[in-house]
Amino acid sequence: MLILLDRDGVLNRDYPDDYVKSPAELIMLPGVGAAVAKLNARGWPVALCTNQACVGKGIIDTAMLARIHDDMRERLLREGGGKIDAIFFAPDPPWAQTDRRKPGPGMLREAMAQFRKTPAETVFIGDSVTDLQAATAAGCRRILVRSGKGAATQAKGLPAEILPVTVTEHLPDAVDRLIAEISQSANPSTDQPPEA
């Protein structure tokens, strides 16, 4: 399996009308380091696919974004033992969007190519409709977390074309449910009644 994560609202606090512009503004969400560590323990690569229009808008440069991501990686490791294997980011501003900026599937396809995984072997976890649209376009399974923009995204109603979508409370919940489901499918119980 390949696990792809959105960043803001999934791993760290989302600022609805602003951006994370420095490591000091990066506020990690509870339990995310341990959740990523559980994925690492399964041997599943974990990659970030994040829109960062703040770069394209000139609010921060790529050097600052790299500092933010270095700090994020250190904190995931320190606060739970989690390791991010790769980071893909789209710096495009909305008015100059390429296929890499979600809802485009470009970053997701790059990640699948790098880790040699098919869409059927890939899960995307995000908090916005654009995350789910990108995953749909890439052919990946979709999980919506209610952290960040997720609760508002769910409340607005999910478009039919991106269904099915699994909805969970936050990243730790999503990871636990995903691991339990895959473990069950790999080791089906003999106690289950036969399907009709």
User: The sheet that has 86-90: what strands, in order across it?
Assistant: 86-90, 46-51, 2-5, 122-126, 141-145, 166-168
Q: Is 70 a catalytic residue?
A: no
What the block records as the tokens of 137 is: 């376009």
CA-based nearest residue to 47, from 136, 179, 140, 137: 140
Q: How far apart are CA 185 and CA 41, in angstroms?
A: 18
- Annotated active-site residue in 6, 14, 127, 131: 6
Please identify which residue in the block is written with the tokens 């041997």.
43
Please name the amino acid found at residue 149: K
Judged by DSSP in three states, 7 sits in: coil
Q: How far apart are CA 75 and CA 71, in angstroms?
A: 6
Q: Is 6 a catalytic residue?
A: yes
For residues 19 and 93, is the Cβ–Cβ distance under 8 A? Answer: no
For residues 130 and 92, is the Cβ–Cβ distance under 8 A? Answer: no
Half-sphere exposure of 154 (CA within 13 A, CB side): 16
Which positions are annotated as active-site residues?
6, 8
